[in-house]
Amino acid sequence: MDLSIQSPENISYMIEKIKEKLRMVNVDAMRSENFSTEQYEDLRYMYEMVMKRDNITPNEMQAIAAELGSMRK
């Protein structure tokens, strides 16, 4: 998957991977349709940061969820 290309498919992929990694309970709040390509670079940065981490604390999880929430359309 080439994440350098801004596309709805890549947004969907990154959101799904972030949800899996964080084991998010409220997955309905994180639907890929709620994100636009205008925030693509921010979303990609968030995706790369989350994927690099082996362990994410509850506080970090809350901050990531809040940041993703602020990116929604």
Residue 42 falls inside a structural domain: yes
For residue 4, the 8-state DSSP code is: T
Which tens digits make up the pLDDT trace of 3-62?
A: 999 999 999 999 989 988 888 666 666 788 888 888 899 999 999 999 999 988 989 988
In a domain, 28, yes or no: yes
Domain that holds residue 21: 8-71
pLDDT of residue 14: 94
In a domain, 63, yes or no: yes
2 located within any domain: no
In a domain, 3, yes or no: no
Domain count, the chain: 1
* Between residues 24 and 63, the one the model is more confident about: 63
Task: Give the whole-angstrom CA distance, residue 34 versus residue 55.
Answer: 27
**Which carries the bigger pLDDT value, residue 1 or residue 14?**
14
Asked whether the predicted pLDDT for residue 72 surpasses 70, the reply is: yes
